């Protein structure tokens, strides 16, 4: 991986995160449940797949605690708070598959919104 590609992928993730930050300004506290599952997962997870960097954004969290992340080109993956990332569909994977949330955060691939 070259420095330019790492810089470009981080810039993309930051741009996506910056676009989502204004959403946190809305008064959602009253409408939000005390145990909001979205607070426990990163908003964006950055992964390399087929020599391309993708920003996967959180789409949903099911009742059983499985978070689904989606990116462009109809690719997606899942992860739980204590499990490892898995690709949905195809045989492939990327640089996120098999990593825990702790590992993704430590490697700088997970982006949280701080409130």
Question: Strand (E) positions, the chain?
Answer: 44-49, 52-61, 67-71, 75-79, 86-88, 110-111
* pLDDT of 95 higher than 90: yes
Would residue 102 be called left, alpha or beta, if left means φ above 0 and alpha means ψ between -120 and 50 degrees? Answer: alpha
* pLDDT of 33 higher than 70: no
CA distance 47 to 3: 16
User: How remote is the C-alpha of 20 from its chain's centroid?
Assistant: 13
Say if pTM beats, i.e. exceeds, 0.75. Answer: no
Average of per-residue pLDDT across 60-75: 92
- Model pLDDT, residue 112: 92
CA distance 115 to 112: 10
- Model pLDDT, residue 91: 64
């Amino acid at each position: 991986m070259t420095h330019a590609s790492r810089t470009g992928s981080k810039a993309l993730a930051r741009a996506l995160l910056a676009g989502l930050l204004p959403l946190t300004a809305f008064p959602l506290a009253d409408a939000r449940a005390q145990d909001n599952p979205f607070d426990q997962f990163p908003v964006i997870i950055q992964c390399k797949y087929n020599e391309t960097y993708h920003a996967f954004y959180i789409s949903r969290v099911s009742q059983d605690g499985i978070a689904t992340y989606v990116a462009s080109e109809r690719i997606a993956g899942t992860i739980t708070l204590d499990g490892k990332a898995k690709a949905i569909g195809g045989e492939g994977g990327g640089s996120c598959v098999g990593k825990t949330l702790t590992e993704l955060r430590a490697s700088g691939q997970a982006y949280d919104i701080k409130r």
